[in-house]
Structure 1
Amino acid sequence: MDNEIKTAAEAYEADALPRRYEVHMDPETARAQDQPVPGAVSGQPMEQKSPAQWAYERIVLYLKKFEEQLDSDHEVAMGFTGADAGVLRIVGMGYFDPDIITFYGADPVGGRMQHIQHVSQLNVILRALPKAVEDAEPNRIGFRLVQDLENDADNSAATT
């Protein structure tokens, strides 16, 4: 028996199916819900995922969708609320079960940054920043993270 006390919202979220819904003023705006949920996200039952894994997978999908709308001169960054930390250019992301999400990156002048956050305090603002290196291709961390999720699902299926 689980003695953990949950709010109604937490219990509802724990039972949620992997689905998305958005409304935008401009009907031409690409919406996250228009993209299929990768099998790596929807293939594992929610009750087998930690809060950190579940939050990580959903943020990855939002990162990828945000990057799809960027031009080749911009990359994704993360803004902070309630602090003067500025923004973090996202170059990596991970989770530590059961409840920690971490973002790796750099500030706009190149200083290394790492943001560690408990899933209960999760608050992510995605921002577009000019590329760090003028001649290089823009980094697309969201695409890389989705590919990693899909490769992990393929490897799990191959070993079962």
Structure 2
Amino acid sequence: MTDEISTSAEYAETAALPRAVATHADPAECGRLESQPLPPAATRKPVEEKSPAEWAYERLILYIQNFEAQLDSTQEIAMGFTGGQAGVLTIEGVGFFDPDLVTFYGRDEDGLKTQLIQHVTQLNVILRAVPKEEPSEPPRRIGFQIMRQWAGGESGDASA
């Protein structure tokens, strides 16, 4: 118990803030993302005003960026599909459609254009490090590209 006194507004604000917790076998790796404050772009709009799709999309971007930061120059990010035989998607884009759909754009293991559309209640992804398709090209870092857009105020909102 704490002796700290909060106003009702402060209490409501704290209750609405997202919580994130992580445990890892290597303490240096533990909570790399979860222990950081949310970037300003993620806090411009209050959590309670975001749809489940928008909130899932924003958190996915953060996880993708964090994962990509751990890759070397010979690797790119891909996504494995859970619960099915669909294989792996090299991520080229991420989006959402309010109120409840998240989508991933990319290419499958054969290089075929692929799009996954998933309801937020069914969202299960595995982020994977895969060798770059073109070793001489710089790696694509979709998470960092999205964060630059996001920080600049571009939400990807089709109605804007």
Deviation digits for residues 122-152 of structure 1, max 9, x if unmatched? 1111011100111000000011111121111
The answer for the alignment partner of 1:143 in structure 2 is 144
Amino acid at match of 2:23: V
Q: Which amino acid aligns with 2:63?
A: Y
Q: What is aligned with 2:22?
A: 22
Unpaired runs of 5+ residues, structure 2, are: 1-14, 156-160
Q: How does 1:38-117 map to 2 (within 5 A)?
A: 38-117=39-118
Q: Any gaps of 5 or more consecutive residues in structure 1?
A: 1-14, 155-160
Structure 2: distance between partners of 1:75 and 1:86: 16
Q: Does 1:118 align with 2:119?
A: yes
Structure 2 CA distance for partners of 1:153 and 1:88, relative to 1, 3 Å: closer
Give deviations 1:40-66, integer Å, cap 9, x for gaps. 112211121111100000000000000
Shift of 1:118: 0.4
Give the Cα–Cα distance (whole angstroms) in 2 for the partners of residues 22 and 147 of structure 1. Answer: 26
TM-score (norm: length of structure 2): 0.82
1: distance between equivalents of 2:145 and 2:37?
17
Partner of 2:8: none
**Count of residues in Structure 1 that have an aligned counterpart in Structure 2:** 140
CA RMSD of aligned residues (A): 1.7
**C-alpha contact (below 8 Å) 1:18/1:37 kept by paired residues:** no
Q: CA separation of 1:153/1:80 partners in 2, compared to 1, >3 Å: closer, same or farther? A: closer
Which protein is bigger by CA-based radius of gyration?
Answer: 2
1:84 deviation in Å?
1.2
Alignment CA distance shift 1:19-1:39 (3 Å): farther
**In percent, how many aligned pairs have the same letter?**
54
Q: Helix, strand or coil: the match of 1:32?
A: coil
Separation (CA, whole Å) in 2 of partners of 1:148 and 1:16 = 25
Question: Would you say the 8 A contact 1:104–1:115 is kept in 2?
Answer: yes
Q: Which has the higher helix share?
A: 1
